[in-house]
Amino acid sequence: MKTKAEIMDAQAVNRTLLRLTHEVLEKHHGTEDLVIIGIRNRGDSLARRMIKFIKEIEGTDVPLGVLDITLYRDDFQRFSETAVVQETIIPFDISNKKVILVDDVLYTGRTIRAALDALIDFGRPAIIQLAVFVDRGHRELPIKADYVGKNIPTADNEQVKVHVKEVDNEDCVLLIEQ
Amino acid sequence: MNKKTFKAEISNCILLKGGRLVDPQTGLNEKADLLIENGTIVKIGKVDEKGVEGRVVDCKGKIIAPGFIDMHVHLREPGEEHKETIESGCNAAMNGGFTGVAPMPNTSPVIDHYNHVTFINKRSEGLLVDVYPIGAITKGQKGEELAEMGEMKEAGAVGFSDDGHPVASGQVMRHAIEYGNMLDVAIINHCEDMSITGEGVMNESFSSTETGFRGISSVSESAMVARDILLAEFSRCPVHIAHVSTKEAVRLIRDAKSRDVKVTAETCPHYLTMTDKAVKTFNTNTKMKPPLRTEEDRLALVEAVADGTIDAIVTDHAPHHADDKDNDYHSAAFGVIGLETAVGVILDRLVHGGHLKLEAMIQCFAVAPRKIFRLPEVKITEGETANITILDMDKKWTVKGADFASLSFNTPFEGWELKGAPAGVVNKGMLYLND
Amino acid sequence: MQLSIRHLLGLDGVSEKDITIILDTADAMKKVLQRPIPKVPTMKGKTVVNLFYENSTRTRISFELAEKRLSADTVNFSTSTSSVKKGETLKDTIKNIEAMRIDFVVMRHGVPGSSHYLANCVDASVINAGDGPHEHPTQALLDMMTIREKRGSLKGLNVCLVGDITHSRVSRSNVYGLLACGAKVGVCGPATLIPYDMQDMGITVYPHIEDALAEADVLNVLRIQLERQKGALFPTLREYRNLFGITEARLAKAHSDITVLHPGPMNRGVEIDSEVADGPQAVILDQVTNGVAVRMAILFLLAGGRSSFEGVDHE
């Protein structure tokens, strides 16, 4: 595995995330009934920052949820390095809420399917929308994001890594060749 | 099961060429050829094979010793012929370097009548291996009334035992050794206080603490050994202690011998080479009675064999069908086979291991058992009957139960790599060579 | 970090690392049990056979619930309803069950080593739910989880098992697991119910309950069985209570923050008084809850799951 290119630097990451946040607010005309749930391990960091942006823009507090989808994956035995059980923290009732699900990279769609299964076990939201930072294509399930930070078409042997300060000590998007 | 066949060849004339003759009874230890005609040793010295019309066996590098006897085996016939028969058991003995075996009477029916002894004699006719039946001390081995030992002796029984069970009553045991002394036969007791054994399945020790099994404490054995020694001392009659496994029993026997009490004793290769730590594998071939004991016991037994406190090494060959062993540890039967591993295990671990002299090993296997049974001596001397065990001191081999002549393969030594093996036996004008 | 074991037969030889993985995962599973829908699809399509040769309603229900919470298919096989009563050997029973293609066998059996035997006979993963007085690893793990939850860490804690140590299904696994995790372990009970040379396991044997109580941070009170009177192991339950029962008065002399466990079922008024069992120091019901979480964690981890808090992508 080697890094082929840095597609976004820290500044670009910040700009894109701010734009995504604006798009969500625009679509929902504000923050009423809005909750943001990030998927571990980087979606939750992105979600936390979006909530901070909203506070700056709108002056309101949007509840944050963190979702671990390990127990919902259909492939945890095949890719067991990903099967890590961590805590899911959703300290509020999601019923009748407008849920924005946040993840770093949209790829096959299996993570999102698992996340939807997991979410539904917590209640019945009014609507679930998907915000992803990068869409790299190659879907295996009929899943589409409502908000996309950046579309990055990739080849089979390429991978997109979104790095966030909270986990990786830097903000950037990398194209990796396997 | 596709077993190969084990067959002795009959030969009027056999020349064992180039071996080292070792006989602790005469102090013989020299390289010489040995010529056997019609079952008798006719010449020891240099024999030119060109002049010999018969079987010439190259014994270069091998040891030629008086024939070994296993004085404690279970051949299962009559009653459990799917585990072993007299013939298969004798083949196992022959393949293991023995020219004689003494089967215990805990068959079905129990050998407690001269007719049963006669049956065993009949079944062992024509075999290379001598079969010396042991009769029951009490009728049905129930520990209550004495069996007709006198008549069984007439029919050929060389000793008496309720082996498999102890003679629990002290008074019955006292009468047995007195009556046995009158008949001049060996009285052998399986020393085990069943009230102490209880439902135990392994030695009571740190290993039973770890595994959670019910224990059989060493006192189960040593308490009865003490009783039998006191009975022998009081009645001034000999007694033989079967399969000694504990250091306490060794201490009692050593003390008794030092006071000239007429006690003899035996132990088995597994007690000399294994400990109860092996039970932690839950391999049911570590389950036998008495159970494998601790390292301290093992060391005491090795010392006792070396210094003559323990007279004989026996296998307590106890064949069991896989159905009786391939199960959980409680359900599995007690007992292991040993005829085809005894010589190899003792040569490797004790003789090559530096704990036992070769002469002492021959004493344990060939000399002591005959003495305990009051059988004629077997010597490597011109004019004597040729009853011989040939040992290959250097052969390296791996124990594999499936290759045995025994119908069963419940060996605790499976997979052991050994140096030293039986190379062949000669008896009754017959020859068998290990390949 | 994945478990280094394929079966869970006991805690003898299991590393602190593996135990920590299991307990951390169990903590996460406990959170699942607190959700509105306490069920996840993780083990959909996996089949678990609960093979119980001895009655143990609690352990069986706990396993069954753990399996169902993970969406596994479960089959129960117990001696009262099976061919075992008809004389079938363990091996034949196992071979028959395996021929039906299963992924896990959870077995309770009265004989030490029977789960090792089972693991040698089958391809499925084996979880020992008690092999006689040998090991009962899931019980020890749930005890450890409960202690860790209450006390923060196992390291340096003084944990004392009280009662019939010899025949207990729980004692050995607890000793192995606690020692591996750095706790100090003691046992206390009638001399007739302490196995031979047990101090050689690296633990303290207390002949008197007062001495044990003076040092213990945690008491694990074991069930005393009436039938042991028969083997002349102790005279009466009355005398047992007088000498070893955990009464309110005795507990008052112990550390005030002592934690009391009992694997159940309890004989109130014999090995433990109700005032203690229902008192603030007791965590007996937490043990029951944690039992399900621990068993979920073990099933998940043996199925190939991992537990770690190092960063991993869910790409």
Q: Does CATH number 3.20.20.140 belong to domain B9-63+383-433?
A: no
Q: Within its chain, how far is the Cα of B309 from the centroid?
A: 17
One DSSP character per residue, chain C reads: ---S-SSB--STT--HHHHHHHHHHHHHHHHHHTSSS----TTTT-EEEEEESS--HHHHHHHHHHHHHTT-EEEEEEGGGSGGGGT--HHHHHHHHHTT--SEEEEEESSTTHHHHHHHH-SSEEEEEEETTS--HHHHHHHHHHHHHHHS--TT-EEEEES-TTT-SSHHHHHHHHHHTT-EEEEES-GGGS-TTGGGGT-EEESSHHHHHHH-SEEEEPPPPGGGGGGTS-S-HHHHHHHH-B-HHHHHTS-TT-EEE--S---BTTTB-HHHHTSTTB-HHHHHHHHHHHHHHHHHHHTT-B---S-----
Options 3.20.20.70, 3.40.50.1370, 3.40.630.10, 3.30.70.2740; which CATH number does C16-135+291-302 get? 3.40.50.1370
Query: Is A47 among the domain residues?
Result: yes
**DSSP label at B60?**
T
pLDDT tens across the length of chain C (315 residues): 567 788 999 999 999 999 999 999 999 999 999 888 899 999 988 999 999 998 888 999 999 999 999 999 999 887 765 555 556 778 888 888 888 889 999 999 999 999 999 999 888 999 999 999 999 999 999 999 999 999 999 999 999 999 999 999 999 999 999 999 999 999 999 999 999 999 999 999 999 999 999 999 999 999 997 777 777 888 999 999 999 999 999 999 999 999 999 998 999 999 999 999 999 999 999 999 999 999 999 999 998 765 433 333 333
Q: Where are the domains of chain C?
A: 16-135+291-302, 137-287
Element (H, E) at A93: none
CA distance B53 to C115: 62
**Overall domain count for chain A:** 1
Query: Which residues on adjacent β-strands are paired with residue C76?
Result: C50
In chain C, what residues touch B282 (CB-CB under 8 Å)? 112-113, 116-117
In chain A, what residues touch C35 (CB-CB under 8 Å)? 88, 121-122
Whether residues C28 and A39 touch (CB distance < 8 A) is answered with no
Which chains neighbour A (Cβ–Cβ under 8 Å, 3 or more pairs)?
A: C
Q: Which residues of B form the catalytic set?
A: 316
Which of left, alpha, beta for B175 (phi over 0: left; psi -120 to 50: alpha)? alpha
- Owning domain of residue A137: 17-154
In chain B, what residues touch C196 (CB-CB under 8 Å)? 204-206, 208-209, 215
Residue that is written with structure tokens 């019309």 in the block: B53
Which of B202, B211, B284 is the best residue to mutate to test the C interface, defined by the most C CB atoms within 10 Å of its own CB? Answer: B211
Query: Is A6 among the domain residues?
Result: no
CA distance C101 to C98: 5
Whether residues A41 and C307 touch (CB distance < 8 A) is answered with no
CA distance C146 to C141: 8
Whether residues C39 and A121 touch (CB distance < 8 A) is answered with yes
Say which amino acid occupies C232: A
Residue that is written with structure tokens 């291996």 in the block: B129
Every domain of chain B with CATH number 3.20.20.140 lies at: 67-372
Give the number of other CB atoms < 10 A from CB of residue A153: 9
Tokens representing residue B400 in the block = 């594999």
ipTM of the complex: 0.90
Query: Is A142 among the domain residues?
Result: yes
Give the number of other CB atoms < 10 A from CB of residue B178: 15
Superfamily (CATH H level) for C137-287: Aspartate/ornithine carbamoyltransferase (3.40.50.1370)
C-alpha distances out from residue A84 to A77, A106, B80, B261, Å = 11, 19, 57, 73
Which chains neighbour B (Cβ–Cβ under 8 Å, 3 or more pairs)?
A: C
Whether C16-135+291-302 and C137-287 share one fold: the answer is yes
Which of left, alpha, beta for B38 (phi over 0: left; psi -120 to 50: alpha)? left
Query: Is A160 among the domain residues?
Result: no
Q: Looking at residue A52, which CATH number applies to its domain?
A: 3.40.50.2020
Element (H, E) at B173: helix B170-183
Could you give the percent of chain B with pLDDT greater than 70?
99
Residue that is written with structure tokens 């040891």 in the block: B63
Whether residues A77 and C312 touch (CB distance < 8 A) is answered with no
CA distance B291 to B245: 8
Radius of gyration of chain A (CA): 16
pLDDT in tens, B216-230: 999 999 999 999 999
Options 3.10.180.10, 3.90.400.10, 3.20.20.70, 3.20.20.140; which CATH number does B67-372 get? 3.20.20.140
Whether residues C117 and B282 touch (CB distance < 8 A) is answered with yes
Query: Is A101 among the domain residues?
Result: yes
Closest approach of chain A CAs to the CA of C304, in angstroms?
5
